[in-house]
Structure 1
């Protein structure tokens, strides 16, 4: 069985994620291909799409959100994801048990006397009367029925046991404000049949080659081996440097490991980093903790090499290792392009801090 080293896996990941070269894809097709974009920070998907698409305009994503072709909801790993309407309807029921268990991992004792089916019925009635509500409003209203439970706990639990979406203006370009929720069925219609084997293929198309542990880490779902086995005969197998079996679609791109890679700026919580159990294909173990801290990354030669922030129109890059003069020039060039995008076409400015030794 062929062994793929970290560099080969890196190039495959970048190709699947449209980070090796920007794609001529529509925004809806890109969101579908990626299996959604992690979006608990509402503005971050705009950077993720800008880094992946050749001609991305924030107004296009805004239109898809307001026209209900894409939506925001808790899904993979019980984090907020921006997904297509089709995936929201097909995948939400498949994730229900995981969402509930992760919620109970936080609130099990607090909810000991709360029947979750009754809670789901109560929040459905509440949201049917008066339109979208914030989690705080939901919790305070339900506290009248369950006065012994903190409103915050009730709100979080209720919006987990009932499938809901976050409605605009949350998630629109340059918009701020709290999340308001409405039932998924009211916003997009009823659920659609979902195939676990379809989820396996979709994951591999955007993240493969990958181990079953990587698929589980991305989705948060348990019990996937049976679904993997159902399509195993359609897949090809490799090994990584640790000896793990990696599965992949036969015709998916696996570029030459020496393929040149442009500088790319990733938003916070980007799934190109978080979508794996073993993230060593893209980030050093020494920096792994940054990936769950909301840190924005710069990829140099396809790997996390710096972090970035933006303030007062200036993109500031902080290297995590030593940069050559050529590295600094390439990072500065892409950083200026990003700053211009974030400034809505205004003059972009970038500052690359001194390299670390």
Structure 2
């Protein structure tokens, strides 16, 4: 594998590859579980976005298709990549958590280390595990119980330390469409009835990351995962990878033998949910979003707003406003849209409303400038 040479890929070529691998060029016939596996999970700070994320990617997707997987413990919600909540399959939960353990421990130390300074983190993890396996607990409940042992220490800091040191999954009804309220937790081992996969290999996830997000650089995968020092794994894969360069000269890797789509291909309009991983999984995001749009999408309080794609690129925001029995899809372009784009967004928006606001007695679509 040579990293010195390789064809140059334009931002548009990288965009087409990403859109296809993210199942957005045309709706896929994969099952929800297969799609979640292919995508290596869906970011899931809030319960509803993963449902929208699958709806926009899959043919004939229904809310119950994912809700059933959550209830049957075939997919779980757990802190993984970048120390954020992801919805992943049971197998990926048990394999990824050990691979990300060092990063998760480092992250919580940076955020809450001062509040728990002087305490033995192994003891924190041990007690947290015992408590979460005895019964499901909210973080408020877990923190209060931990503070009984370590009086005078911040209860939330204790609970968040457990969150990153112990594989805690959020149990239903958290993760079900339309359900709110505080998340309750237990350990992944207790919930799934199996132990962590300590034999999992980062090489496997390099290949899977590239299958879902490539071609990509080492820094891109590090941005997606939160891990560092991944170059060794890319080098180790050797002949299994081929190399490209982007227009700045950065070396990109891909699975050898994977064909790239035609950069000239036209792509359909798509609505993406809040926190969609397609916007969060590369160090250089120009393959999906112009830099000047980032401040409008990434808010100061950590929200990644719902966006829409025109011809594969982020071109604006959307939300659904609800008043009594009415639901209005508000579409906010960043710049004027062609008439054809408005028509396509309207047609796709009607499908979105039928899915996300099926109970509404009246459904409307309104285009307005970004506020």
TM range (shorter): over 0.9
Partner of 2:358: 344
Decide whether the 8 Å contact of 1:98 with 1:220 is kept in 2: yes
Aligned with residue 173 of structure 1, among 174, 177, 184 = 177
2: CA distance, partners of 1:354 / 1:175: 31
CA distance in 2, matches of 1:350, 1:89: 42
Correspondence list, 1:287-326, <5 A: 287-289=293-295, 290-291=297-298, 293-312=303-322, 313-326=327-340
What is the TM-score of this pair, normalised by structure 1? 0.97
Contact 1:323 1:355 in 2 (8 A): no
Correspondence 1:135 to 2:139: yes
The residue aligned with 1:125 is: 130
CA distance in structure 1 between the aligned counterparts of 2:166 and 2:269, rounded to whole angstroms: 41
Equivalences for 1:63-212 in 2 at 5 Å? 63-129=68-134, 131-188=135-192, 189-192=194-197, 193-212=199-218
For normalisation by structure 2, the TM-score amounts to: 0.93
Query: The residue matched to 2:308 in structure 1 has which SS?
Result: strand
Give, in angstroms, the shift of residue 354 of structure 1: 4.7
Q: Is residue 252 of structure 1 aligned with residue 258 of structure 2?
A: yes
Q: Which 5+ residue runs of structure 2 have no aligned equivalent?
A: 1-5
CA contact (8 A) 1:298 1:306 kept: yes
Q: Which residue of 2 aligns with 1:225?
A: 231
- What is the root-mean-square deviation of aligned Cα atoms in Å? 1.4
Please report how far the alpha carbon of residue 355 of structure 1 lies from its aligned counterpart in structure 2 after TM superposition. Answer: 8.2
Match of 1:330 in 2: 344
Instruction: Tell me what 1:279 maps to.
Output: 285
CA distance in 1, matches of 2:12, 2:53: 22
For the Cα contact (< 8 Å) 2:81–2:226, is it kept in 1?
A: yes
Q: Which moved more, 1:322-331 or 1:343-352?
A: 343-352
Tell me the residue number matched to 1:3. 8
The ranges of structure 1 where at least 4 consecutive aligned residues each deviate by more than 6 angstroms after the TM superposition are none
1:178-233 per-residue CA deviation (whole Å, 9 max, x = no partner) reads 11110111111101221110010000000000001000000001121111111132
What is the distance in 1 between the residues matched to 2:259 and 2:60? 22
Gaps of 5+ in 1: none
